Amino acid sequence: MNQGKTALIALAAGLAFCTGVAGQVLAPSDYQAREQAIATRLSSARKGCAGLAAHPKAVCFAEANAGAKIARANLEASYRPSAKARHRALIVAADSRLAVARVRCADRSGTARRTCETQAMSAWTSADADADARLKTAEAKAKASEQSLEDREDASSETLEARYAAARRQCDGYVGKTRDLCLLQTRAHFSRR
């Protein structure tokens, strides 16, 4: 049993490492190294599970596989960061936790099993809703940022047009060649922007 716990602790430490870098963009060599580390931790965790029997062994394997799936999804979200990649990582985590919970519930019977499965589904539903909410929030922020940039560009353009019109009106106070020179200088000044 100690080997299983040791493997799970190592897997948990690896998961913490992978989720801590979710906001950073990884180089391809870092990605490959971390992918290999995940595979190594999974192999080690599975070897730790081999000494167990029956249901504890099934739970141990489910936890090892779920941990590897979560770590890979987080790694992918780090390598190709986007709101959708982060959403996928959250969904994989929720699905993996549900799979582990179902395996844990399998050795129960009757009401205890139904209660266990209901709690697992409730946790999954909550995690799924949270992932969807985070995706929608990220998309809304991106859209708002894009709209804000467009608004600033429009405002800048309108301000420039208003300044040009005001400068042209100032030229109207002059007569003849002075007015023509003023308009020419005004056009030249505003065409550079």
Q: What is the Cα–Cα distance from 176 to 116, expressed in whole angstroms? A: 91
Residues 6+ apart with CB under 8 A from 72: 35, 38, 92
Closest CA to 60 of 10, 118, 111: 10
Q: What is the Cα–Cα distance from 95 to 92, expressed in whole angstroms? A: 5
Angle, to 10 degrees, between the axis of helix 28-50 and the axis of helix 54-79?
Answer: 180
Residues 6+ apart with CB under 8 A from 131: 87, 90, 91, 94
**pLDDT tens digits, 54-68:** 888 989 989 999 999
| Residues shown for the chain | 193
What confidence tier does 17 reach under pLDDT thresholds 50, 70, 90?
very low
**pLDDT tens digits, 32-50:** 999 999 999 999 888 988 8
